[in-house]
Structures are given as C-alpha cells and as structure tokens.
A and B are shown apart, each in its own frame.
Chain A
Amino acid sequence: DAGVIQSPRHEVTEMGQEVTLRCKPISGHNSLFWYRQTMMRGLELLIYFNNNVPIDDSGMPEDRFSAKMPNASFSTLKIQPSEPRDSAVYFCASSPQGRPQHFGDGTRLSIL
C-alpha cells in the first residue's frame, strides 16, 4: 500500500518567495493533518481536515500560511511570503476519522 506521499522532499528558497507543499493522503482516509517540526518547538499541528473540510486551523501561525484540500486525494500548504523562521520539516498525516494517524516522510523547507 502506498503511504502518505509528500512533495517536494526538500525545498530551498529565498525569503519572500511563495512556497507550496503538497500531500496525497492514503486512499480511503478521510482525515488529513498538517504538522510542522522544529528542534525548538517539536511537532506541532497546524491544521486538519475531515472530509475535505477544515476543522481546526488554530495552529496556523499567521495569515501567511494557508491550506486547502480541493478533493479527497490532494492537499496543499502554502506560505506566502516565506520567512527564514518558517524553516522546518513539514509533515502531512492522514487517517480514517478517529483512528491513528499515518505520516508522510515530510518536506524539509529552508528559507534563506
């Protein structure tokens, strides 16, 4: 079975540029989660969706961050404009609702 697929695996860009991270959840999973992991703050939930609908975005750090889920097999996390403090590993996870989450291998983002 294919797991959660994230792209790109690595992204290096300059401050001020728009960054788009992509996620394909496991087929049949109707919950999708975006996390950010840093050394200082650990793994933090940014936003999650049930059945393509955003349920809780209280973890989104500021208006520069936005997330969409146009269909059951695709989600994006966008940062515009990007800043050096956004550098982190971003994970996407999916699950059947109410069941344990399965994580992708993350996108390692560096903002110069």
Chain B
Amino acid sequence: QKEVEQDPGPLSVPEGAIVSLNCTYSNSAFQYFMWYRQYSRKGPELLMYTYSSGNKEDGRFTAQVDKSSKYISLFIRDSQPSDSATYLCAPLTGGAQKLVFGQGTRLTINP
C-alpha cells in the first residue's frame, strides 16, 4: 500500500463549479499537509498547507484534514480555467523534511 493515495483523474468540470480533490494516507505520524499545484511543463508550486486536523481557507481554496480517517481534501470554489493544472497532496511528519507526494490529480476547468 502506498503511503499516500490520490486519484489521478483526469477530472473535468465547467467553469464556476466547486471542485473537490482528495487524498488518503496511511502514516498516522503525518502532521503537516501540503497542496502543490503543477502547471504543464512547470515545477510544482506550493498552494497552501495545514497543520494537524481542521480547515484552512485562502481565497477560493479551502484545505481540510481529517486525521481520524486519514483523509485530506482541497476545495476550489468558483473554479476558473486558470485553475486547470495537476494538484498534488504531500503530507509530512513533524520535524521531517521528506515530502511524500500523491500521484496528483489532473484537473481541467472548461470555459
């Protein structure tokens, strides 16, 4: 079993829709939960991160962590064509530096 599982998609939704991207993980020691966005032929860029369980909001993006079920979510409200990218979840244990990336979900927002 992989440490981090993420549905690779592809996921295609119309502009303006609410998008839900999800990961599950197996290591209960993970404490930090990163979301990276990767545009085609570019490197991943950090979108947002959360510590432990709970929600964090940043503009149209909300990250949610449920440590009891080992489930990570990223919600995008009012999705835009510019949100079309691959989204990677990457949890991290406290004090560690080794990110473990999910496979990434390829998202397309159709105008």
On A, residues with C-beta under 8 Å from B are 4, 31, 33, 42-45, 48, 50, 55-56, 91, 93, 95, 97-98, 100-106, 108
Q: Chain A's nearest CB lies how many Å from the CB of B86?
A: 10
Question: Which chain B residue lies CB-closest to A45?
Answer: B98
User: In the complex, A95→B44 CA distance in Å?
Assistant: 14
> B91 within 8 Å of A by Cβ?
no
Give every chain B residue within 8 A of A102 (Cβ-Cβ): 45-46
Q: Could you say which of A43, A56, A101 contacts B104, with CB atoms under 8 Å apart?
A: A43
Which residues, 60 to 111 on B, are CB-close (under 8 Å) to A? 88, 95, 97-99, 101-104
Q: Chain B's nearest CB lies how many Å from the CB of A101?
A: 7
Q: Chain B's nearest CB lies how many Å from the CB of A39?
A: 9
Chain B interface size range? 10 to 19
Q: CB distance B98 to A100 under 8 Å?
A: no
**Known A103-B45, A105-B43, A106-B43; contact A43-B97, beta-carbon cutoff 8 A:** no
Query: What are 23 A-to-B residue pairs whose CB atoms are below 8 Å?
Result: A4-B43, A42-B88, A42-B101, A42-B102, A42-B103, A43-B44, A43-B101, A43-B104, A45-B99, A50-B97, A91-B43, A91-B44, A93-B43, A98-B95, A100-B49, A101-B46, A101-B99, A102-B45, A105-B41, A105-B43, A106-B42, A106-B43, A108-B41
Known: A48-B97, A103-B43, A103-B44. 7 other contacts (CB 8 A): A42-B101, A43-B88, A43-B101, A43-B104, A93-B43, A98-B95, A100-B46
